[in-house]
Amino acid sequence: MSGEILLQAKGVTKRFGSLTANRNIDLEVRSGTIHAILGENGAGKSTLMKMLYGVYVPDEGEFRMDGETVELHPPAKARARGIGMVFQDFRLVPAMTVLDNIALAEHGGGFRLRRKRLRERIREVSDRYGLKVDPDAWVWQLDLGQRQRLEIVKALMSENARVIIFDEPTSVLAPQEVEAFLDLLRRLRADGYGVLLITHKIREVLACADHVTVLRAGEVVWSAGREAGWDEAALVRAMIGDKSLQQVGRRNGPHGEPGGEKAPAEPEPFVTITGGVIKGDHGEMVLADVRLEARAGEILGVAGISGSGQRELAEALFGLRALAEGELRVAGRPMPADPRAFIEAGVTFVSEDPLRDSVIPGFTILEHMVLDGLPMKPKGAGIDWRGVREALEASGEARALALADPGRMADTLSGGNVQRMVLTRALLRKPKALIVSYPSRGLDIGTTRVIQQRLIELAESGTAVVLFSEDLDELLALSDRIVVLSGRRLHGPYRTEETDAAAIGSRMLKGESA
Amino acid sequence: MMRSNATAMTNAAAAAEPARRGLPPRAKSALMQAGLFAAPFAAFGVFLLFYGVNPIDLYVSMFTSAFGNRYGFGEVLIKATPILLTGLAAALPARAGMINVGGEGQLAIGALLSTAAAVTMLQAAPAWFGIPAMLLAGALGGAIWAGITALLRVKGNMNETITSLLLNYVAFYTVGLFVHGPLKDPASFNWPFSPPISDALRLPVLNGSRLHAGIAIAVVLAAAVWWVLSRTRLGFRIRVLGANAFAAERAGFRVSRMQLLTLVAAGALAGIAGMIEIAGIEGRLRPTTGANYGYLGFLAAWMAWNHPLRLVATSFLLGMIAVAGNSLEMNSGLPSSSVHILMALVLIFLLAGGRIGRGRRA
């Protein structure tokens, strides 16, 4: 590996509460190299980058530049040291011009704006790297690719910029733009910049990286230069790990060994989508040609890299989002896009963002239980809260999931406790179909196991479960069949016993940027 | 000194959260509440000093004009009545997550419709029938006016804050159109007002004051709104909707229908305020009937954190300040509109202290 060391992380650890997002990370960025950081969602890539850019302070460990220990927090310090970052979610003001957006980030000190000098500098940077950024364009008129180029210009504006961090840069680019982007990275490398590329797309890594570091569960599991030799299979293995094969939780419930006693032959499809086209919040195509069957008594796993249409598909399955085309049926009946109809048909929903979608500020846990959970027991014109509490306590769910005291305000709960609350509620409902997103997010291993067990039992009692998860192990352990979202398509279903983590993983990664 | 007092208040508010030493929290909170109540009067006192008016004398005269005699106290209640009702019209939708600034227009159309009913159909009606009928007409008028906003919100996805505000102007000119035209009193020598309603339709009045039964109606309605919000399934749903619309949608609520219903009910409340102004005070419709009460009610609702029972208190406070404004003009030579400064200060300090009161629930 060539080039001097620009930035070095030594033994860096970052914890959020009980979760260790990064553990003892060592990393080097050298000038004139592209260093790729690979990892699944939740592996700790973003946390690491945010520490390098000074957003977070590490709990342990240090950063070194030019041979001395440096303080990078807050980001202004990191920037002053020559570290720039191109964020995944752009930090731009749409109602302002390109020039003004850049001036916001970088006006070179002093009170006056010095537009003229800025404009010249923007032109200079933009021309040098063929970015074609017009300083006087309005940001709202730019498409995502152009906005990203603007972010890149922003990062390069500073004369002393040496390390540029790219956070999932190609996720917003069309396939033909990706090639141009990779060329840009190569040009930055030629100019002696140290490039840190966060990605989960192996193809890009293979195309341009000089060094690869793979993170899994917050730790560096693999780190090697190009000269050490690598291939796609090795990288996938490093990312996903082979521990999934020896996962203890797999089918330890009365769920049947692979190929063993299989519950009733070919259960009825309960929720079906045929010819489905699902569009995003801005009318963009998210998933086309969706064919999905969730059968009673089965868990259907949905795998995919984050942002592959999971949220939109989940919303469509609960009537929160209308299908642009195609048909959704529940128990054989076509459904309108109205959650009320889905609830009446016995479908229930656990959102991927319960803090936003489910938690009602100023309301107790108990009060949350009657919202698509326990029945709202009437008492005169009011609600018989004592009765609701008794029903909650009589059921085993609250205890099994270690639900917090029902009298507590839900908006004071930690993320894990919120998760317990919404899952308890969903289980209490005894739904005919359960659409559940990321059930184990934010939960400790013990509770995760309990929930997984409950989901299996729920399926066995005849519920159709659609399980969205970013944890392949979880999907493989729980699902009867798995579909994969990738490249605006829904692939599969694949029978769990006929596939493995590697096959699903490469499904998730490929079909993209191709 | 006044200023340092005010600064101390804000500092206390900022420091309240992390460290509470010395006094028990309850006493401290009561002390803060009292301080927050006093602070705007202190700040307004500084303003008065600039104009060479002795604030202490003035506050004393304001106080005596409001509480010194039955007449003054009656005036306070008379002012508080429409403020309370339009306050409810703001508070109820606010609990469902909507901002209704249209109390002004809903009151005006309520006044218009109740007057129209009174002078065209109820002139010969006995009180036991005429007054309830007029009340219903007022409620209907306000409901229709709020219904426009509600439909635009539900069907057209238009922001109810904007539409309700703009409809206030439409309402003002609609009332003007009627009092200049179809509803003009033929005996008015061309003045723009309606014929008087019959005496049977006037609300009963307490002897020795202008105080009428309207305050009782308003307080009963405030209690009813409180009961619905805090004690019924409907109210529970409304509060869920207001606190997290996503959660309401995901719990299968008929969100649009609830929004429509809440806004229409709010309009009806403001419309009743219009009817009370006609039947209690004015006896006929003028272009300016009830002017400003809608905005004062909105203010009162904010000051009460949209809590219907606290709204009774804040309406009373605003009514008191409004009545005191008259004595301000008489005793100090300041324009009576300068009480608006005092009202604004009261609001600002109450909002600043909002964290203290916010934890409580209906």
Strand positions, DSSP E, B137-292: none
B300, two tokens: 């009162």
Predicted local confidence at residue A513, as pLDDT: 36
Which residue in the block uniquely carries the two structure tokens 């999934």? A244
Interface check B236 vs A, CB under 8 A: yes
Q: Which residues in chain A are contacts of B240 at CB distance < 8 A?
A: 360, 363, 371
Burial of A221 (0-12, 13-18, 19+ CB in 10 A): middle
Please, what is the end-to-end C-alpha distance for chain B in angstroms?
38
Predicted local confidence at residue B90, as pLDDT: 97
Residue B10 in domain? no
pLDDT, greater one: B160 or A471: B160
Predicted local confidence at residue A446, as pLDDT: 65
Range from A212-221, A321-330, B252-261, B321-330 carrying the lowest mean pLDDT: B321-330
Residue B51 in domain? no
Q: Which residues in chain B are contacts of A370 at CB distance < 8 A?
A: 236
Count of helices and strands (H, E) across chain A: 18, 22
Closest CB to A372 among B232, B239, B250? B250
Compute CA B152 distance to the chain's CA centroid, rounded to the nearest angstrom. 24
Average pLDDT for A45-53: 88
Question: Chain B, 251-270: which have a CB under 8 Å from a chain A CB?
Answer: 251-254
Grade residue B14 by pLDDT with cuts at 50, 70 and 90. Answer: very low
The whole-angstrom separation of Cα B10 and Cα B22 is 18
Predicted local confidence at residue A107, as pLDDT: 55
Phi, psi at A466, each rounded to 5°: -110, 115
Pairwise CB contact (< 8 Å): A362 & B233: no
Tell me the percentage of chain A whose pLDDT exceeds 90. Answer: 33
The whole-angstrom separation of Cα B328 and Cα B176 is 31
Residue B291 in domain? yes
- Residue B62 Cα distances to A127, B145, B292, B315, angstroms: 72, 37, 21, 17
Predicted local confidence at residue B175, as pLDDT: 95
The whole-angstrom separation of Cα A158 and Cα A121 is 9
Which of B131, B107, B136, B111 has the alpha carbon at shortest distance from B266? Answer: B107
pLDDT at B358 over 50: no
Beta strands A378-379 and A382-383, pairing class: antiparallel
Average pLDDT for B84-91: 97
Q: Which residues in chain A are contacts of B244 at CB distance < 8 A?
A: 357-361
Compute CA A92 distance to the chain's CA centroid, rounded to the nearest angstrom. 21
Average pLDDT for A393-401: 85
User: CA-CA-CA-CA torsion for A327, A328, A334, A337, nearest 10 degrees?
Assistant: -100
Pairwise CB contact (< 8 Å): A371 & B251: yes
Q: Which residues in chain A are contacts of B234 at CB distance < 8 A?
A: 381
pLDDT, greater one: A141 or B257: B257
- pLDDT one-digit tens code per residue, A87-139: 866 778 888 888 888 888 765 566 666 788 888 888 988 888 888 888 888 88
Residue B89 in domain? yes
pLDDT at B170 over 90: yes
Predicted local confidence at residue B79, as pLDDT: 93
Predicted local confidence at residue B51, as pLDDT: 82
- pLDDT one-digit tens code per residue, A277-297: 999 887 888 899 999 999 999
What value, to the nearest 5°, has the Cα angle with vertex A404 and ends A398 and A410? 115
Predicted local confidence at residue A506, as pLDDT: 77
Range from A161-175, A191-205, A394-408, B63-77 carrying the lowest mean pLDDT: A161-175
pLDDT at B55 over 50: yes
What value, to the nearest 5°, has the Cα angle with vertex A390 and ends A387 and A392? 110
- pLDDT one-digit tens code per residue, A334-363: 999 999 999 999 999 999 888 889 999 989
The whole-angstrom separation of Cα A22 and Cα A12 is 7
Residue B116 in domain? yes
Average pLDDT, chain B: 86
Query: Using beta carbons and an 8 Å cutoff, which residues of A are at the interface with B?
Result: 318, 320, 339-340, 342-344, 349, 351, 356-363, 367, 370-372, 376, 378, 381-383
Average pLDDT for B332-336: 77
The residue of chain B nearest to residue A381, with distances taken between CA atoms, is B232
- pLDDT one-digit tens code per residue, B133-161: 999 999 999 999 999 999 999 999 999 99
Peptide bond into A339 cis (omega under 30): no
CB atoms inside a 10 Å sphere around CB A423: 25
- pLDDT one-digit tens code per residue, B237-289: 999 999 999 999 999 999 999 999 999 999 999 999 999 999 999 999 999 98
User: CA-CA-CA-CA torsion for B95, B96, B98, B104, nearest 10 degrees?
Assistant: -60
pLDDT at B357 over 60: no
Grade residue A473 by pLDDT with cuts at 50, 70 and 90. Answer: confident
- pLDDT one-digit tens code per residue, A301-332: 998 876 788 889 999 999 999 999 999 999 99
- pLDDT one-digit tens code per residue, A13-25: 998 776 788 999 9
Average pLDDT for A396-416: 82
Average pLDDT, chain A: 83
Residue B271 in domain? yes
- Minimal C-alpha gap between A343 and chain B (Å): 7
What is the tally of structural domains in chain B?
1
Burial A475-497 (b: 16+ CB within 10 A, else e): bbbbbbbbbbbbbbbbbbbbebb
The ipTM of this complex is 0.80
CB atoms inside a 10 Å sphere around CB A259: 9
The residue of chain B nearest to residue A361, with distances taken between CA atoms, is B243
Range of the domain at B161: 81-298
pLDDT at A1 over 90: no
- pLDDT one-digit tens code per residue, B187-235: 888 889 999 999 999 998 887 778 889 999 999 999 999 999 999 999 9
Grade residue A42 by pLDDT with cuts at 50, 70 and 90. Answer: low
Predicted local confidence at residue B94, as pLDDT: 96
Interface check B189 vs A, CB under 8 A: no
Amino acid present at A196? L
The residue of chain B nearest to residue A339, with distances taken between CA atoms, is B252
Residue B173 in domain? yes
Residue B44 in domain? no
pLDDT at B15 over 60: no
Pairwise CB contact (< 8 Å): A362 & B361: yes
Pairwise CB contact (< 8 Å): B250 & A357: yes
pLDDT at A510 over 70: no
Domains and CATH numbers, chain A: 5-244 (3.40.50.300), 245-253+268-509 (3.40.50.300)
